[in-house]
Amino acid sequence: MTAMIGQLRSTVIDCPDPRALAAFYAELLGLDLIEENSDGDEWVVLGGPPGHQPRIAFQRALGLRAPSWPDPERPQQFHLDVTVDDIEAAEKAALALGARRLPGEGEGFRVYADPAGHPFCLCWD
């Protein structure tokens, strides 16, 4: 077994509007916005203090070139897999929050984009 060097602190997502994207993921994942760990509109944190998982942070990146699924010229950069109980209900809720369906799906997952264009998957077993 490999010795641990550190623990995951946050998954950080670059985006043009951190508050707006944090609000989207707060609703999608049921995570609280942690104002005391945030920094105005430049850095917004969901989930809890460092060491609390899951923890997602959103960082302002003006001029970000959004991914274009599945175009390799503008790759997805990262994505989150979100487990759901009812794909139809989850899809409806995600679309109502501002997500959009993207091409591609497989056995047990569908691909979407968040309001800033980052791909994510809704997954079920």
**pLDDT at position 86:** 92
Report which DSSP code applies to 117. S
Contact 48, 56 (CB under 8 A): no
CA distance 107 to 26: 27
**Domain-wise residue ranges, the chain:** 1-63, 65-124
Banded model confidence at residue 4, pLDDT cuts 50, 70, 90: low
CA distance 39 to 32: 15
**pLDDT at position 9:** 77
Q: Which CATH number fits domain 1-63: 3.40.50.300, 3.30.1450.10, 3.50.50.60, 3.10.180.10?
A: 3.10.180.10
And the tokens for 64? 């970000």
Q: Is the domain defined by 65-124 classed in CATH 3.10.180.10? A: yes
Same fold, 1-63 and 65-124: yes
Average pLDDT score over residue span 25-32:
94
Average pLDDT, the chain: 88
What are the tens digits of pLDDT across the range 45-95? Answer: 999 776 677 889 999 999 888 888 888 888 767 778 898 989 999 999 999
